[in-house]
């Protein structure tokens, strides 16, 4: 039986959720520069057009943790926590995190502890209008946790299992109506996205 990811509405951007739609799933890693390029371009140029130009397009953000980035798990956990505490702020937090992702690269975090990184992420969430204390409550790991993780670990496991069952291995990966779309590039600017969307979802 397939594992159903606990995707909340925070992860879905759609102008008309009840209308027939084309679904574009974005498998992104918050510390992947290519993922950042893709999401920031969409957020700046395409998402504002959904309600007027592309009302039948639905974008879903998927968590694609890349284990060779040591902080990847931590930043995705923070995004999940924000999605639980303030679903309406999830996209805003995701965009802010992508814009500042270099702060969470290997070098800047090499000498930081896990909970210290969580505190920085919770501060970023607070700057986006999210309850910092509630985010920290979900993220912080105490010595009593053993090897169980934190309060969003189980959710993250489900997201990772779902991506693996889809055969997704790299970020960013775009899935269009259930099929990996190999033509899309993270280097695309507004013009390429508009051309593709005009052809496929209008």
Q: Is residue 45 part of a domain?
A: yes
Q: Is residue 78 part of a domain?
A: yes
Q: How high is the pLDDT of residue 138?
A: 96
The token pair that represents 89 in the structure block: 């702020």
Q: Is residue 142 part of a domain?
A: yes
What's the total number of domains in the chain?
Answer: 1
Q: Is residue 190 part of a domain?
A: yes
pLDDT by residue (tens digit) across 2-27?
444 444 556 888 766 666 689 999 99
pLDDT by residue (tens digit) across 52-79?
999 999 999 999 999 999 999 999 999 9
Proportion of the chain above pLDDT 90, given as a percent: 83
Q: Is residue 16 part of a domain?
A: no
CATH number, domain containing residue 121: 3.40.30.10
Element (H, E) at 59: strand 57-63
Distances (CA, A) of 189 to 39, 56, 69, 183, 193: 11, 21, 26, 14, 7
Mean pLDDT of the chain: 91
Q: What is the dihedral of CA 167, 176, 80, 165, to 10 degrees?
A: -20
Q: Is residue 175 part of a domain?
A: yes
Q: How high is the pLDDT of residue 2?
A: 41
19 compared with 87, residue with greater pLDDT? 87
Domain residues for 98? 21-200
Q: Is residue 143 part of a domain?
A: yes
| 51: Cβ contacts below 8 Å, ≥ 6 apart | 15
Q: Is residue 2 part of a domain?
A: no
Contact status, residue 37 vs residue 95, Cβ threshold 8 Å: no
């Amino acid at each position: 039986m397939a594992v159903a990811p606990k995707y909340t509405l925070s992860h879905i951007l759609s102008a008309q959720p009840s209308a027939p739609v084309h679904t574009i799933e974005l498998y992104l890693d918050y510390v992947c520069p290519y993922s950042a390029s893709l999401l920031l371009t969409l957020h700046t140029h395409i998402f504002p057009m959904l309600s007027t130009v592309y009302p039948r397009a639905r974008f879903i953000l998927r968590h694609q943790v890349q284990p060779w980035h040591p902080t990847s798990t931590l930043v995705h956990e923070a995004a999940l926590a924000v999605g639980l505490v303030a679903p309406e702020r999830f996209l805003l937090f995701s965009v802010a995190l992508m814009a500042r992702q270099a702060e969470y690269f290997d070098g800047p975090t090499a000498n930081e502890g896990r909970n210290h990184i969580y505190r920085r992420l919770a501060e970023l969430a607070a700057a986006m209008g999210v309850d910092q204390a509630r985010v920290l409550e979900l993220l912080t790991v105490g010595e009593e946790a053993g090897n169980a993780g934190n309060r969003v670990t189980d959710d993250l496991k489900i997201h990772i299992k779902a991506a693996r069952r889809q055969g997704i291995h790299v970020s960013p990966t775009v899935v269009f109506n259930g099929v990996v779309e190999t033509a899309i590039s993270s280097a695309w600017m507004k013009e390429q996205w508009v051309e593709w969307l005009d052809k496929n979802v209008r």
